[in-house]
Amino acid sequence: MPRVVPLLCVLAVVIAVWFAASVPMNWSQAQALADDNASWTDIAAATQSLDRPLLPTPAQVAGNMVTTLVGYPITSPRSLLHHALVTTWESLFGFVISLAAGIVLAIGIVHVRTLDRALMPWLVASQAIPVLAIAPMVVVVLGNIGLTGVLPKALIAGWLSFFPIATGMVKGLRSSDVMQRDLLHTYNATTAQVFAKLRWPASMSFLFPAMKVAAPLALVGAIVAELPTGAQAGLGARLLTGSYYGLTLQIWSALLMAALLATLAIGLVDAAQAVLVRCRGGRL
């Protein structure tokens, strides 16, 4: 319980400051819309319920989220749930691709010396490169050869989450104790047995933190990949159309939805980790 109290206090302060800031931020717009003889309390009240406020209040954003989440059928392009599901599917697809590819590459790097020497420096260097910049080009090029829809976005999402998983797994597969590896060696264990009994179990304590970094990255990749296709579906599309038409409430609720999805993704990785810890008798 004591861990939660400071968190809640800080959250309450953030929301209070947000409410307070919405008054001066929206003041001039509310004043322009108000009657000439409106008192300043009327204007202050009006700042809380503008159609396209410069800074929507938390209550407005929450209200907009609820109406767009449950107010429309899920197939309707007005439903936030529809867009959130599109983005979730894209990033999940990409995440699974990158998980498989990252683990396979890490296994290769750990076992094949040539791969290690040739690829590892590039994997490390790739963390300094803004890989997200290639997103528009990949989407446009793939669209050009007839690949549209989920796959291009999933590829960007996967590409982005691939690097943390690959580097994390390389570290993890190497994290086993030298003594234990030597012990298995004295047992005349094969490489496959060392992998299955020692390297793979030891790597889990690196895989889960890597997944916690990679899962939100997949989400970012999917959202950004939705931008160049002319905003058809997904949270990125909601952000872009909101930005075109000045629909601030739509932007904020899409943003909050993305934040919720990221939190959910991290929570799911945590839950999977907890399950694994329990299966292994309290250790990761």
Partner 1 sequence: MLLVLSLLMGGVALVLLARGDAAPRRIATPIVFGLLVLWLWQLACVGYHVPFVLLPPPSDIGVAIATHLPMLAADFRQTVLRSVIPGWLIGSGAGLLAAIALDGSPFLRRGVLPLGSLVSAMPIVGIAPIMVMWFGFDWQSKAAVVVAMTFFPMLVNAGAGLVQTGAMEADLMRTYAAGYRTTLLKLRLPSALPFVFNALKLNATLALIGAIVAEFFGTPIVGMGFRISTEAARLDLGVVWAEIFVAAAVGTLSFALLSLLERAVTFWHPSYH
Asked if residue 16 binds partner 1 (CB under 8 A), the reply is no
Asked if residue 9 binds partner 1 (CB under 8 A), the reply is yes
Asked if residue 109 binds partner 1 (CB under 8 A), the reply is no
Q: Would you say 198 or 254 has its CB closer to partner 1?
A: 254
Q: Would you say 198 or 223 has its CB closer to partner 1?
A: 223
Rounded to the nearest whole angstrom, what is the least distance from the CB of residue 242 to partner 1 in the complex?
6
Gap between the Cα atoms of 223 and 258, Å rounded: 9
Candidates 62, 116, 149, 150: give the one binding partner 1 (CB under 8 A): 116
Q: Would you say 117 or 185 has its CB closer to partner 1?
A: 117
Asked if residue 219 binds partner 1 (CB under 8 A), the reply is yes
Q: Would you say 19 or 116 has its CB closer to partner 1?
A: 116
Q: DSSP label at 280? A: T
Q: Which residues of 51-70 are buried (b: 16+ CB within 10 A; e: fewer)?
A: eebebbbeebbeebbeebbe
Asked if residue 258 binds partner 1 (CB under 8 A), the reply is yes
Asked if residue 254 binds partner 1 (CB under 8 A), the reply is yes
Which of 106, 115, 119, 218 lies closest to 160 in space, CA to CA?
218
Asked if residue 32 binds partner 1 (CB under 8 A), the reply is no
Rounded to the nearest whole angstrom, what is the least distance from the CB of residue 13 to partner 1 in the complex?
9
Candidates 54, 81, 231, 284: give the one binding partner 1 (CB under 8 A): 54
Gap between the Cα atoms of 23 and 31, Å rounded: 11
* Residues 155 and 127: beta-carbon distance below 8 Å: no
- Output the 3-class SS for 169-220: HHHHHCCCCHHHHHHHHHCCCCHHHHHHHHHHHHHHHHHHHHHHHHHHHHHH
H-state helical runs in 80-134: 80-111, 113-125
Q: What distance lies between CA 146 and its chain's CA centroid?
A: 27
Name which of residues 125 to 184 contact partner 1 (CB under 8 A).
125, 127-130, 132-134, 136-137, 139-141, 144-145
Gap between the Cα atoms of 84 and 233, Å rounded: 9
The contact mask relative to partner 1 for 260-279 (x = CB under 8 A, - = no) is --xx--x-------------
Gap between the Cα atoms of 55 and 49, Å rounded: 11
Residues lying near partner 1 in the complex (CB under 8 A) are found at 3, 6-11, 54, 113-114, 116-122, 125, 127-130, 132-134, 136-137, 139-141, 144-145, 212-213, 216, 219-220, 223-224, 227-228, 235-236, 239-240, 242-243, 246, 248, 251-252, 254-255, 258-259, 262-263, 266
